[in-house]
Structure 1
Amino acid sequence: MRAITYAPPTQQHTKEYAMPGCPFPTRRRPTSAIPTVPAHWTLPAHPTSARKARQAIAEALPSDCLPELADDLGLLVSELVTNAIRYGTRLVDDDIIELVLWPADGHYWLAVSDPGTTLPTFTSPTPDACGGRGLLLVDAVSTTWAVVPRRVCGKSVVAGIRLRCD
């Protein structure tokens, strides 16, 4: 997966204008050059956070998104947050899960970060097993996904789903 970065153009037409109550001129960029600001949430490492994450994602999506995209993102965030809580935290009060959602490059990108160093692994659950399918679902629903180490501690699991909005 390639990294997504935003580099502003080196030459951009700007104009100065006076803002009421502001003692100095302000430069304005055309809005088309400003990337979408990612939505960001911090959640406690608690089992109820998976539900809160699904609600947050649903509320952050634009109203013209197809229900299938919202459903896929809801499933994806539920599995990633659940895995982060089960395998990436110590289930203590000070552990948190970070969740970021942003559209870029024709995808909705979702990053779920936790303080743990345990990497996700595929399992082969038996048909009657109650768990063990989370990463299989992530792999099936997302277009691409990867584990990215964080600078300070922990990791982020980043997944992308092709953008399908009306």
Structure 2
Amino acid sequence: MATAFLLALALIAQDAPVSTAPTATAPPPRTQPAATAPTDDYGYVGWCYGALGGYVDLYDKVMPEVTRIEKTFPGPDGFAASMKEYPAMRDQAKKDLLIYRSAIVAAEKASPRPISEYGAAAIKKGRSVWGGSDQVEKARLAQVWMSWSPPGDCETRAKTLETKSNLFGQALNFNVKKDEAP
């Protein structure tokens, strides 16, 4: 019995055979935090503004590759119909940016303390969604760009933020005397 135990210990203590097969390596650790959106409305809308702004800014860069992809793999309605969608999407994104900007400005005006630095950081974080766009292949960037859209609640939260900010701003200015006309 003791002999079997010692033999088992000896087998466990042996080095494993050397393997020449490549081993799978884990991806390198993330050096920057993920570009996840803040949870508060002001930061969230700022993040949406940054992410959508980056999307709009990439339009001219990705469109040649988007055109190539759409020609190669036309949708069910054909190439021309697919290509009409992209300018419409860009125009809608620009309209959404105006809504987000309006909400951000209203919140900054209504806040009793300066919050613009936090807002700028949220915008920068949102824009970082597109941070690796210079290092990736054109085709891959175009594919990601074609399939990306902002979170569905960006516009709703922007409108809510603006409404609350306008109400709060009015409440803060309730006791302020207005200039009386002569």
TM-score, normalised via structure 2 length: 0.27
- Whose helix proportion is higher, 1 or 2? 2
- Whose strand proportion is higher, 1 or 2? 1
- Higher RCO, 1 vs 2 (CA within 8 Å, ≥6 residues apart): 2
